[in-house]
Amino acid sequence: MADPSDFRVCDFHTHTYHSDGELGPAELAQRARRNGYAYLGITDHSDQSNLANTVAAAVAAAGPLSRAYPGFRVIPGTELTHVPPSQIPSLIAQARTLGARVVVVHGESPVEPVEPGTNRAAIEGGCDILAHPGFLTEEEALLAAAGGVRLELSARGGHSLANGHVARLALRAGACLVVDSDAHAPGDLLTPDFRRKTALGAGLSEEEYARILRESLELASRLCGEGAAGA
């Protein structure tokens, strides 16, 4: 019998039209619910210029949408994107002060010119999730494990090219993994089946994938200030 968590998607990394996504928060939430989401992180792209605005928009949407739909929660957050590494720790702290429940940092993806040193700065700065960290180093994976930073397996084309490498290093180091959509459009949202294929395609076993599901529900519950997952 399938674990009930198999059918409850936790996706910590999505975008709305408050950055470069196609949908507003309400429509994104509605479409996510139809795909089986239990938790939806809204994490629009931010830097020094717009952090306050993107976090405020996510916070403003999260409460009303979470209250409207029983069993579904929106987690307000941000994705710090192409920020100089030296400025990442202070912006992580600022994002939390502004009300971000989940702070994602745009990692050193193999398909974008992200500044070297971004992965390490994000981990040492204490972000929640390092998105699509590309050619992550073994030392960075160990630092993520020690600091409780989740490493992302991305379902997004291009970013997903290094998923196998990230999964191998994370498992070796004992770092936690998440599977996120990095959704910018309706068709990018996860389904339970595609989430599973993304994880297994990165080389994870069914047992390792099941652990990711449990850990993701625990993280989502904690970020929402809940007791037990799904409470």
Sorted by where each starts, the structural domains of the chain and their CATH numbers stand as 7-223 (3.20.20.140)
The ranges of the chain with pLDDT < 70 are 1-7, 227-231
pLDDT at residue 104, rounded to an integer? 98
pLDDT at residue 168, rounded to an integer? 98
**CA angle centred on 127, ends 95 and 8, rounded to 5°:** 100
Cβ-proximal residues to 214 (8 Å cutoff; 6+ apart), any chain:
5
- Average pLDDT of the chain is 95
Cβ-proximal residues to 18 (8 Å cutoff; 6+ apart), any chain:
25, 44, 53, 54, 57, 58
pLDDT at residue 7, rounded to an integer? 67
* Beta strands, E only, the chain: 9-14, 37-42, 45-46, 73-80, 102-106, 129-131, 150-154, 177-180
Residue 75, token pair as written in the block: 């987690």
> What end-to-end distance do the CA atoms of the chain give, in Å?
22
Count Cα neighbours of 161 within 13 Å in the Cβ-side half-sphere. 9
Number of residues in the chain: 231
DSSP character at residue 19: T
Distance of alpha carbon 125 from alpha carbon 114, whole angstroms: 17
Residue 45, token pair as written in the block: 């792209």
pLDDT at residue 226, rounded to an integer? 83
pLDDT at residue 1, rounded to an integer? 38
Residue 196, token pair as written in the block: 């599973």
Distance of alpha carbon 87 from alpha carbon 18, whole angstroms: 22
CB-CB contact of 6 with 196 (8 Å): yes
pTM for this entry? 0.95
Predicted confidence (pLDDT) per residue in 59-77, tens digit = 999 999 999 999 999 999 9
Residue 208 phi, psi (nearest 5):
-65, -40
pLDDT at residue 227, rounded to an integer? 53
Choose among 114, 110, 121: nearest CA to 164.
Answer: 110
Choose among 153, 159, 169: nearest CA to 201.
Answer: 153
Distance of alpha carbon 49 from alpha carbon 64, whole angstroms: 26
